[in-house]
């Protein structure tokens, strides 16, 4: 078979170099101009929270690009670092195979594109280490594969953020008719609110078994799937928020305030925190052949997501039970849902958003890791493991993305209005008469 000699830019036609650079620059400019245009649209429409989320997303993409640049700059230096050969035989994602005849290393056939130029270029570094009886820390081809991983992570992260925004916004818009129906019913407001509050108490608080901790948690767990938020719950929580903050039922737009809260939450989840980068490093280190780390870790996001969803539903249950207790003591203040941080973990509503942030990032990274393996090594690579594992991981990834974007994050935006942090955000709002309930 004829060997391909590596050709430097010294001997490459200038039109080839110029054409490739032109295409890359053109694509980059289109992406940059598109993001700037989107930012201007958000600014003109006074969506400051979404604009800040876009700025944070651009910062994360810049960080990923800087990581890729560092890999390029220090590629030669790192490739010249030599380590003992027995270090390279431990914690491998795939088993090494050798040919019996020549006792030479066997390259897995699952790799789609054989990079002859990269292999020949890295040969000099291998020779440098082989003279010392060692092996290079990372080959040039390994650096190329890491570049692909960074690119895929960036693309999947952007797509995941878009899905969160679209599905979360679609879910919140479904609650808009409930807000409008309250403002239309200006006359019998007292009767309407009492009616919906009684519906909430009937479903969540009345009855001895519903007050039992185990039963209330079971109800909360399953409720997030079939009826995460009902109209009666929305109106009851709205009434409690308005009464606590002394706002007007007719003038205050609770739905608009909740949309702004969702946008602020979205601004938080588009970022990548330090502990999430730490998770990436640990994940890459634990991706060892035989451990099935990729498969078992795919269950972590959905377990955390179901736990967070159940907790949010359970907070609504506990708030309803508190109202039921107040109604049984007639000499006290009128009964309505009273915002409090008491039922949030460690009295910190923000902690639930941190869990949602971690869930979305981990799920996006695992999806990106799958596409990276598919692109770099092929479907039949040993890193893909069994087909049953692949299908299970993909199904779990889609479920987590849809469930978290469409149900859990909007539910968090609503439930956290019952926390003291949301009350503090209304300090600048003029105090108005609560009206007659």
pLDDT tens digits, 33-89: 888 888 888 788 777 777 777 887 888 888 888 888 888 888 878 878 887 877 777
> What pLDDT shows up at residue 427?
45
The number of beta carbons lying within 10 Å of the beta carbon of residue 146 is 18
Q: What pLDDT, on the 0 to 100 scale, is given for residue 105?
A: 43
Do the Cβ atoms of 342 and 314 come closer than 8 Å? no
The full set of domain ranges for the chain reads: 1-89+130-138, 164-427
Q: What is the DSSP string of 309-362?
A: HHHHHHHHHHHHHHHHHHHTSTTSSPP-----STTSGGG-HHHHHHHHHHHHHH
Specify the pLDDT at position 335: 63
Q: For residues 365 and 323, which has the higher predicted lDDT (pLDDT)?
A: 365
pLDDT value of position 64: 83
How do residues 159-175 score in pLDDT, each as one tens digit?
A: 888 888 889 888 988 88
At 181 the pLDDT is 80
Q: Which residue has the tokens 């409008």?
A: 180
Chain-centroid distance, C-alpha 108: 33
Lowest-confidence region among 42-56, 190-204, 282-296, 325-339: 325-339
Query: CA torsion sign, 116 to 118 to 121 to 122?
Result: negative
Binning the chain into helix, strand and coil, the percentages to the nearest 5 are: 70, 0, 25
Residue 295: predicted pLDDT: 78
- pLDDT confidence of residue 191: 52
In the predicted structure, residue 288 carries a pLDDT above the cut 90: no
Element (H, E) at 106: strand 105-106
Q: Is the pTM of this model over 0.85?
A: no
Q: Tokens standing for 321?
A: 């039970």
pLDDT for 180: 82
**Average confidence (pLDDT) over 86-102:** 65
Q: Give the position of tokens 């870790």.
A: 297
Q: What is the pLDDT of residue 147?
A: 85
What confidence tier does 436 reach under pLDDT thresholds 50, 70, 90?
Answer: very low
* Tens-digit pLDDT profile for residues 135-152: 877 777 888 888 888 888
Q: What is the pLDDT of residue 111?
A: 46
Work out the average pLDDT over 183-194.
Answer: 59
Residue predicted with more confidence, 127 or 102: 127
pLDDT of the residue at 310: 92
- Cα separation, 411 vs 423, in Å, equals 17
Instruction: State residue 400's pLDDT score.
Output: 92
**What are the tokens at 362?**
């981990």
Share of the chain above pLDDT 90, in %: 7
């Amino acid at each position: 078979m004829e060997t391909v000699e590596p050709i430097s830019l010294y001997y490459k036609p200038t039109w080839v170099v110029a054409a490739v650079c032109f295409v890359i620059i053109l694509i980059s400019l289109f992406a940059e101009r598109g993001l700037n245009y989107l930012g201007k649209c958000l600014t003109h429409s006074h969506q400051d929270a979404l604009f800040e989320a876009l700025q944070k997303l651009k910062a994360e993409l810049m960080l990923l690009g800087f990581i890729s640049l560092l890999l390029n700059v220090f590629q030669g230096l790192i490739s010249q670092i030599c380590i003992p050969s027995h270090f390279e035989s431990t914690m491998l994602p795939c088993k090494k195979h050798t040919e019996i005849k020549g006792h030479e290393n066997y390259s897995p056939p699952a790799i789609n594109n054989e990079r002859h130029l990269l292999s020949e270029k890295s040969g000099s570094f291998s020779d440098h280490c082989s003279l010392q009886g060692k092996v290079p820390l990372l080959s040039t081809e390994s650096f190329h594969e890491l570049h692909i991983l960074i690119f895929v992570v960036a693309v999947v992260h952007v797509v995941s953020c878009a899905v969160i925004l679209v599905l979360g916004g679609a879910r919140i818009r479904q609650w808009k008719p409930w807000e409008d129906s309250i403002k239309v019913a200006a006359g019998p407001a007292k009767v309407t609110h009492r009616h919906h509050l009684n519906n909430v108490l009937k479903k969540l608080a009345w009855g001895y078994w519903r007050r039992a901790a185990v039963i209330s948690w079971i109800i909360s767990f399953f409720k997030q799937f079939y009826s995460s938020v009902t109209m009666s719950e929305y109106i009851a929580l709205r009434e409690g928020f308005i009464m606590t903050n002394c706002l007007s039922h007719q003038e205050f737009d609770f739905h608009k305030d909740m949309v702004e809260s969702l946008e602020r939450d979205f601004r938080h989840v588009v970022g990548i925190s330090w502990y999430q980068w730490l998770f990436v490093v640990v994940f890459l280190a634990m991706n060892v052949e035989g451990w099935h780390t990729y498969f078992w870790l795919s269950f972590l996001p959905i377990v955390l997501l179901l736990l967070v969803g159940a907790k949010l539903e359970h907070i609504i249950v506990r708030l309803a039970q508190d109202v039921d207790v107040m109604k049984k003591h007639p000499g006290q203040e009128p009964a309505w849902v009273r915002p409090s941080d008491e039922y949030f973990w460690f009295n910190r509503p923000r902690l639930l958003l941190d869990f949602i942030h971690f869930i979305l990032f981990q799920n996006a990274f695992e999806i990106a890791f799958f596409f990276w393996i598919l692109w770099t090594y092929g479907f039949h690579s040993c890193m893909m493991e069994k087909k049953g594992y692949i299908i299970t991981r993909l199904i779990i990834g889609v479920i987590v993305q849809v469930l978290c974007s469409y149900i859990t994050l909007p539910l968090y935006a609503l439930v956290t209005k019952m926390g003291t942090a949301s009350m503090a955000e209304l300090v600048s709002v003029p105090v108005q008469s609560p009206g007659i309930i």
